[in-house]
């Protein structure tokens, strides 16, 4: 009898030890799970709205190449001319004479259903009176077939080159020898909601008033050409 009682006491102690061990393990696991750090939130992706197909060789176009990039929602209108490299806080950076600007877009119907989209960027400074930049896009059969950047100078600071030509107003054009256009939005369809946005990076102009120039545009709305609905 004494032997049986001792055996029962031993088994009870062992069972209690197993229960306490199990409890300790499960509590430790719960603590480990609760202390894990939450994953960092993902950064919002840049918005691109290109309503035309791009040719693969666009990134090699000359004199100004074309790539898709940037963020259409963050684009803004600006000019920064006569750029030079300066050392700022120990680092070299491009800096120039900057000024605000305003952009407008107009789409012209061509033969065969093609479209010519002109985005004009007008600087808001008296020192550049009569100047504006033009970004000219030819859309054919759903493709962006060509792109051209030009500086236009005339006596009228509100019309693009097509409008100037139709009104018989003289103007002068200057084309950069190099540069890159980063396009984040392209919409050639006339309408108030259309958005065209991009940034011109270090375009080299012969005109000393411009020199090495960077600019950005964000034109909301596209007007149709004269006589079009």
Encode pLDDT of 84-103 as tens digits: 988 888 788 888 999 999 99
* CA-closest candidate to residue 203, choices 116, 121, 100: 121
Q: How much is the pTM?
A: 0.79
- Give the 3-state DSSP-derived string for 43-79, with helices as H, strands as E and coil as C: CCCCCCEECCEECHHHHHCCCEEEEECCCCCCCCCEE
Q: Which residues contact 64 (CB under 8 A, 6 or more apart)?
A: 147, 148, 149, 176, 178, 179, 180, 181, 200, 203
Q: Which residues contact 68 (CB under 8 A, 6 or more apart)?
A: 48, 50, 54, 182, 183, 184
Residue 87 pLDDT? 82
Of the listed ranges 12-16, 46-50, 57-61, 210-214, the least confidently predicted one is: 12-16
Annotated domain spans of the chain: 1-31, 49-224
Encode pLDDT of 13-44 as tens digits: 444 444 444 434 444 444 444 455 556 566 56
């Amino acid at each position: 009898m004494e032997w049986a009682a001792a055996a029962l006491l031993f088994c009870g102690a062992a069972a209690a030890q197993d229960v306490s061990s199990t409890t300790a393990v499960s509590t430790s696991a719960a603590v480990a799970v609760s202390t894990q750090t939450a994953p960092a939130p993902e950064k919002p992706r840049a918005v691109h709205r290109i309503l035309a197909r791009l040719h693969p060789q666009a990134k090699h176009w000359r004199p100004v190449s074309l790539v898709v990039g940037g963020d259409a929602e963050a684009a803004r209108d600006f000019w920064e001319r006569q750029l030079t490299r300066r050392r700022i806080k120990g680092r070299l950076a491009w800096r120039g004479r900057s000024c605000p600007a305003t952009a407008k877009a107009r789409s012209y119907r061509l033969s065969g259903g093609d479209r010519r989209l002109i985005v004009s960027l007008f600087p808001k400074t008296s020192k550049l009176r009569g100047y504006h930049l033009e970004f000219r896009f030819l859309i054919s059969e759903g493709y962006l077939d060509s792109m051209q950047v030009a500086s236009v100078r005339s006596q009228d600071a509100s019309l693009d080159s097509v409008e100037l030509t139709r009104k018989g107003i003289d103007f002068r054009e200057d084309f950069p020898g190099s540069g890159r256009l980063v396009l984040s939005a392209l919409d050639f369809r006339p309408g108030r909601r259309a958005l065209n946005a991009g940034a011109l990076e270090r375009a080299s102009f012969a005109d000393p008033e411009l020199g090495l120039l960077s600019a950005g545009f964000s034109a909301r709305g596209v007007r149709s050409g004269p006589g079009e609905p």
